[in-house]
Amino acid sequence: MSYLWLIMENLCLWMNSHKREMAIKLNNEYGPVLHMPTSKENLKEKDTQNASDSYGHKQYPANQGQEVQCLATGTHPYPPGSGVALTADPKIQRMLSESAAQSLAVALPTSQARVDANRSAPAGGEYRHPGASDQSQPAGAVVMDGGNAKNSTLMAKKAPTMPKPQCSVRGVIGSTRSAYLFSCGEDKQVNCWDLEYHKVIRHSHGHLSTVYGLDMHPTINVLVTCSRDSTARIWDVRTKASVHTLSGHTNAVAAVRCQAAEPQIITGSHDTTIRLWDLVAGKTRVTLTNHKKSVRAVVLHPRHYTFASGSPDNIKQWKFPDGSFIQNLYGHNAIINTLTVNSDGVFVSGADNGTMHLWDWRTGYNFQRVYAAVQPGSLDSESGIFACAFDQSESRLLTAEADKTIKVYGEDDTATEETHPVS
C-alpha cells in the first residue's frame, strides 16, 4: 500500500507541474489573445441555453429577430495606440479614448481635430464588434475594419470627380451688323456671345472634330466654319440652322474666307488644295492644286480682286474668279500659320518659328524680316506666331504668339524711300 500511495502522490505532483507548465506557456505565447471578445456564434448558443430560467419558464430576448451584437467585455486591451476599447474598466477606456483622439488629430483638419479631441468615450460605453449591424454610433466612435482602426467620420469619402478638359479657342470673329461675337474651338461647337450681357446665347453643333476657323459673310447673315473633320459648314445666324455642308476636302480644313462677289467662299486644307465654292449650290467651283504642302492660311486683299495662300513650300497669289495663278513669294521657309494685308499693300506672313516677313503685295518684294522675341522666362520654342491682323487704322499690326503674349507693332516714322527702297 505504501508503494501505491507514493505512485499516486508522484502522479499528482506531475499533473500539477504539467498544469503549471501549460499555464505559463499559454500566458507567454497566447496572452494577447486569451481574452478576445466572444464570437457571435458562441454568444447566440449561450443565449439559447439560457433561454429558460430556473423555474422552467422560457425567456425571449427583447431584440428577438434582430442581429445580436457582440460586445467587447474582455480585460485585455488591444495593442497600445490602436484606439479600440475592449474593457469595461472606465480608467482603461478613458486612456484609450484619449490616445485615439490624439491619433485622429493628425489625420483630421485642425478644426475637426479640436472638436473630436475634446470628446471622450463614456465610461462603460459599448463598442461594436466586427460584423455587427450598422446602427447609430456616438460621434468619434472607432470601429474595426480588417484589423485597422478607422474613425467613422473619415470613412465617408467624396465621389471621385473627373477633371474637365481645357478646350482651346481656335478662332473668333465679330458681327458688323449686331452686337454678337462668334467663337470656335476644340470642343467641336460654335458659340454665339452677346456682347451686351457677356454670355453665350446660342450653341451650334454639327462638326465632328476641332473647329479651326470661321468667317462672317459681309452681306448675308450666314457664318462659315471649317473643321478637322474635312468639311466646312454654312450656318444661318438668325436660326443657328446648318444651311450647307461643304464636302470635298480629304483632310482637315484649316482656313476659310468669305467675300461678297463670286466665288463667295474660299477654303484651304491640309490636303494641299484650295477650293472656291458656290454658296447657293454648296458645291466646288474650282480646285487649286499648285501647293505641295498643307495650306494653313488664306487672306483676301481688301481692294484688289485677288487673294493669297500660305504653305511651308511658298506663298502664292491668285486672281478671282477662276483662281488664276499670279506669282510665288519665296523666302519664308517655315510653317505659315497666318496671313494679313492692309489697303496699302503691306502683306505680312507669320510662322511657327517666330519669324514674320513683310512683303509688298504688288511686287512680292520682302522688304523686312522680324523675329519675335519670346517673353522673359519662356522657351525659344514658344516663339510661334499663331495669328496677326491690322487694326482699323491699318497702321498697327497685332500678333498673338505662343508665349501667351499679344504684341503691337507700329510704323517707323523715320523710314523713307531712300532708306528703305522697294525694288
Q: What is the pLDDT of residues 17-27, one digit of tens each?
A: 888 888 888 78
CA distances from 271 to 92, 249, 298, 330, 335 (A): 81, 7, 14, 21, 15
Q: Is residue 386 part of a domain?
A: yes
Predicted confidence at residue 38, as pLDDT, reads 57
In the predicted model, what is the mean pLDDT of residues 70-74? Answer: 43
Q: Is residue 362 part of a domain?
A: yes
Greater model confidence, 335 or 240: 335
In the predicted model, what is the mean pLDDT of residues 200-226? Answer: 92
**Number of domain units in the chain:** 1
Nearest-CA neighbor of 235 among 263, 259, 204? Answer: 204
Given a cut of 70, whether residue 130 has pLDDT beyond it is no
Residue-wise burial string across 264-301, b where 16 or more C-beta atoms lie within 10 A, e elsewhere: bbbbbbbbbbbbbbbbeeeebbbebebbeebbbbbbbb
Average per-residue pLDDT for the chain? 78
Given a cut of 80, whether residue 405 has pLDDT beyond it is yes
Predicted confidence at residue 420, as pLDDT, reads 76
CA dist 326 and 332 (Å) reads: 18
Domain of residue 335 covers: 290-410
Q: Is residue 236 part of a domain?
A: no
End-to-end CA distance of the chain: 144
Predicted confidence at residue 50, as pLDDT, reads 54
Greater model confidence, 164 or 254: 254
Predicted confidence at residue 89, as pLDDT, reads 52
Q: Is residue 4 part of a domain?
A: no
Q: Is residue 299 part of a domain?
A: yes
In the predicted model, what is the mean pLDDT of residues 264-269? Answer: 96
Q: Is residue 345 part of a domain?
A: yes
Length of the chain as a residue count: 423
Neighbours of 122 (CB within 10 A): 12
Confidence of residue 256 (pLDDT cuts 50, 70, 90): very high
Predicted confidence at residue 88, as pLDDT, reads 46
Q: What is the pLDDT of residues 289-344, one digit of tens each?
A: 999 999 999 999 999 999 999 999 999 999 999 999 999 999 999 999 999 999 99
Neighbours of 338 (CB within 10 A): 21
Q: Is residue 337 part of a domain?
A: yes
DSSP code of residue 32: G
> Residue 300 sits in a domain of what CATH number?
2.130.10.10
Predicted confidence at residue 146, as pLDDT, reads 45
87's grid cell: 474593457
- What is the reported pTM? 0.61
Cβ contacts of residue 368 below 8 Å, gap of 6+?
357, 358, 420
Is the alpha carbon torsion for 133, 134, 137, 140 positive or negative? positive
Q: Is residue 370 part of a domain?
A: yes
